[in-house]
Amino acid sequence: QVQLVESGGGLVQAGDSLRLSCATSGLTFSGHYMGWFRQAPGKEREFVAGISRLGGTTQYDNSVKGRFTISRVNAENTLYLQMNSLKPEDTAVYYCAARGPGYAFTSAYTAYDYWGQGTQVTVSS
């Protein structure tokens, strides 16, 4: 079955960096548009960043543009999110997600078919 497993979260101070990883199995990774989402307590899940199947095109929410970088290594079936200059408002559970095979970008979390269990990122001020 399809599995997405996030790692790399933790507790950091404002201004620090973290790199999240999402290891996938059970799907043809290169055939899926991939995204990172986050959800803070009491808030709806929100789009953070997305990347096309071959990695040539990326999309970011304005709140993270210039600070976060999404990337993928298809040969390793792994998705990454490099997060720099972290802010307290970045505190959330971060999820990686995959769209169905062949689909392209959307920021709507309801359109993603596969999800990881999430990894907590906490940024203290």
Residue with tokens 């999820």: 95
102: nearest Cα among 36, 2, 28:
28
Percent of the chain past pLDDT 90, that is, above it, reads 99
Helix (H) or strand (E) holding 71: strand 68-73
pLDDT of residue 109: 95
Buried/exposed code over 72-106 (b: 16+ C-beta within 10 A; e: otherwise): beeeebbbbbebeebeeebbbbbbbbbbeeeeeee
pLDDT tens for 14-52 read 999 999 999 999 999 999 999 999 999 999 999 999 999
Q: Which residues pair with 115 in a beta bridge?
A: 97
pLDDT at site 41: 92
